[in-house]
């Protein structure tokens, strides 16, 4: 175990709760660090329920192809913590991460603070000390009391589609969840919002008007006007102008929507250094593992052989299952196997409801080192509330599930889903490296 990992393990013990939404603890620590968050490059802040990671990855790729320097903060990580902090596009080194964590730990002096809060402070410290052209800041949970929301000036706040998720922390209605997400609008020059349900749109309009923020709203100020699947191109309008781009590298029709949100954000900045070519190249080069990612040539696909395909997606809520359904519907002439693991607080029955009819076999897995729903508990819920006859198997690990599939079937599509933490576990088992 390297030194940075040991420090991260210690930091997990500073607060009894993994999540405790508040800004006071991180503000106190940042004050001891001389408030690095108040002196950062221009910030784009991204919140939402679905798509925020993909939008952030498109933005980063576009800025990179425009030859701009970009810091990025995302969560959670899949394989190792360093993925959360990119310094001018490169994963933070273990050496630099260790120094930053030691400084934060020393000045915090053992005071209660959540893991996300103290590591966010470390990211701000890194972004403050190394020059860049832009900072991409993704919220961890919610927005209003998210640790990232201590920054005081943003060139743009982006709200991706808001739906029901994390109700135990954000509220039990769409409006209450939206209000938490819209907390990032404070101190923003402009705001870009993706396709939203009407109650969310109304809240955004009220909030941006009250705070005198320039709003670019999907459907009014910008929208997708064509998706050409034959030539793999799509067109959008932004204000009075029309633009055409190639389909993005990330799989799934929903990624065209995410790409259009990133494009609208770029166009709202009115930065002449970012050309149409840079945007197009960014869409084609963007990488965001565990979002309908096909596992090719890794340990797991080699184990199964060429007649099986393995797909991986970290989607874990009802909206994500609707997106997955579109892909699974295209596999209707083949055997479809779902390998699922879910965290406590999620709804496996609701998640599987739309896709169950196309499933040949469902495998349920535990998720290492996290609070997951026990596989047998998910099985009982499915049997009693969804489908008493569904073919279900509880297994201890991914290879066991794959061995059963290979032994009983000659070919098919395998979709591993339900949790980003499970996705990280699978990527590690497959030997995948994130750079």
CA 228 vs. chain centroid, Å, equals 26
Question: Is residue 70 over pLDDT 70?
Answer: yes
pLDDT digits (tens, 9 = 90+) for 385-409: 999 999 999 999 999 999 999 999 9
Q: Across residues 223-243, what is the average pLDDT?
A: 96
What are the phi and psi torsion angles at 155 (to 5°)? -75, -25
DSSP secondary structure, 137-174, as one string = EE-SS-STT-GGGG---EEEEEEPPP-S--HHHH-SSH
Provide the percentage of residues in the chain whose pLDDT is more than 70. 97
In terms of phi and psi (left: phi > 0; alpha: psi -120 to 50; beta: otherwise), the region of 44 is beta
Homologous superfamily of 3-285 in CATH?
A: Mur-like, catalytic domain (3.40.1190.10)
Q: What is the pLDDT of residue 354?
A: 85
Would you list the domain boundaries of the chain?
3-285, 293-430
What pLDDT score was predicted for residue 13?
A: 86
- How distant is the alpha carbon of residue 102 from its chain centre? 27
Q: Which residue has the tokens 């080699």?
A: 302
Helix axes 254-269, 52-65, angle to 10 degrees: 50
User: Is the predicted pLDDT of residue 26 greater than 80, yes or no?
Assistant: yes
% of residues, the chain, pLDDT over 90: 83
What is the largest distance, in Å, between two alpha-carbon atoms of the chain?
62
How long a stretch of residues is the chain? 435
- Assign 17 a pLDDT band (cuts: 50, 70, 90): low
Helix (H) or strand (E) holding 189: strand 188-193
- Give the residue ranges of DSSP H helices in 317-431: 318-329, 348-353, 375-385, 398-408, 420-430
132-188 pLDDT, tens per residue?
999 999 999 888 899 999 999 999 999 999 987 655 556 668 888 999 899 999 999
- pTM score of the predicted model: 0.94
- Chain mean pLDDT for the chain: 94
User: Are 358 and 331 within 8 A, CB to CB?
Assistant: yes
Nearest to 89 by CA among 135, 142, 138: 135
Can you tell me the mean pLDDT for 262-271?
A: 96
Architecture of domain 293-430: Alpha-Beta Complex (3.90)
pLDDT of amino acid 14: 84
The reported pLDDT for the residue numbered 325 is 92
pLDDT digits (tens, 9 = 90+) for 309-367: 999 999 888 888 988 999 999 998 899 999 999 999 899 999 999 898 889 999 999 99
Question: What is residue 166's predicted lDDT score, i.e. its pLDDT?
Answer: 54
Q: Is residue 3 pLDDT above 80, yes or no?
A: yes
């Amino acid at each position: 175990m390297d030194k940075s990992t040991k420090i991260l393990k210690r930091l997990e013990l500073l607060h009894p709760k993994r999540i405790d939404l508040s800004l006071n603890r991180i503000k106190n620590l940042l004050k001891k660090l001389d408030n690095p968050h108040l002196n950062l490059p221009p910030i784009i802040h991204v919140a939402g329920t679905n798509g925020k990671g993909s939008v952030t990855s498109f933005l980063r790729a576009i800025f990179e192809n425009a030859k701009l320097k970009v810091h990025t903060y995302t969560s959670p990580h899949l394989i190792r913590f360093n993925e959360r902090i990119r310094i001018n596009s490169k994963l933070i080194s273990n050496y630099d991460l260790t120094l930053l964590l030691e400084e934060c730990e020393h000045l915090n002096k053992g005071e209660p603070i959540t893991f996300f809060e103290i590591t966010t402070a470390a990211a701000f410290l890194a972004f403050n000390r190394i020059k860049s052209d832009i900072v991409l800041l993704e919220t961890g949970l919610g927005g209003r009391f998210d640790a990232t929301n201590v920054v005081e000036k943003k060139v743009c706040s982006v709200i991706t589609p808001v739906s029901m998720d994390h109700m135990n922390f954000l509220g039990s209605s769409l409006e209450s969840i939206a209000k938490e997400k819209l907390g990032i609008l404070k101190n923003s020059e402009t705001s870009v919002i993706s396709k939203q349900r009407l109650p969310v749109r109304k809240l955004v309009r009220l909030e941006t008007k009250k705070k005198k923020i320039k709003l670019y709203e999907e459907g009014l100020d910008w929208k997708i006007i064509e998706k050409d699947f034959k030539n793999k191109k799509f067109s959008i309008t932004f204000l009075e102008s029309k633009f055409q781009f190639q389909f993005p590298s990330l799989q799934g029709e929903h990624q065209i929507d995410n790409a259009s949100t990133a494009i609208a954000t770029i166009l709202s900045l009115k930065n002449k250094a970012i050309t149409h070519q840079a945007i197009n190249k960014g869409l084609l080069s963007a990488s965001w593992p565990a979002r309908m990612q096909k596992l090719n040539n890794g340990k797991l696909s080699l184990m199964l052989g060429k007649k099986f395909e393995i797909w991986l997606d970290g989607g874990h809520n009802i909206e994500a299952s609707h997106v997955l359904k579109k892909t699974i519907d295209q596999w209707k002439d083949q055997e479809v196997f779902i390998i699922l693991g879910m965290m406590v607080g999620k709804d496996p029955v609701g998640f599987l409801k739309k896709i169950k009819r196309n499933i040949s076999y469902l495998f349920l897995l535990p998720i290492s080192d996290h609070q997951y729903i026990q596989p047998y508990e998910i099985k009982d819920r499915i049997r009693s509330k969804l489908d008493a006859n569904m073919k279900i198997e509880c297994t201890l690990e991914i290879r066991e599930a794959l061995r059963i599939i290979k032994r009983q079937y000659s070919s098919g599509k395998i979709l591993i889903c339900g949790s980003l933490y499970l996705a990280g576990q699978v990527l590690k088992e497959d030997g995948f490296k994130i750079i």
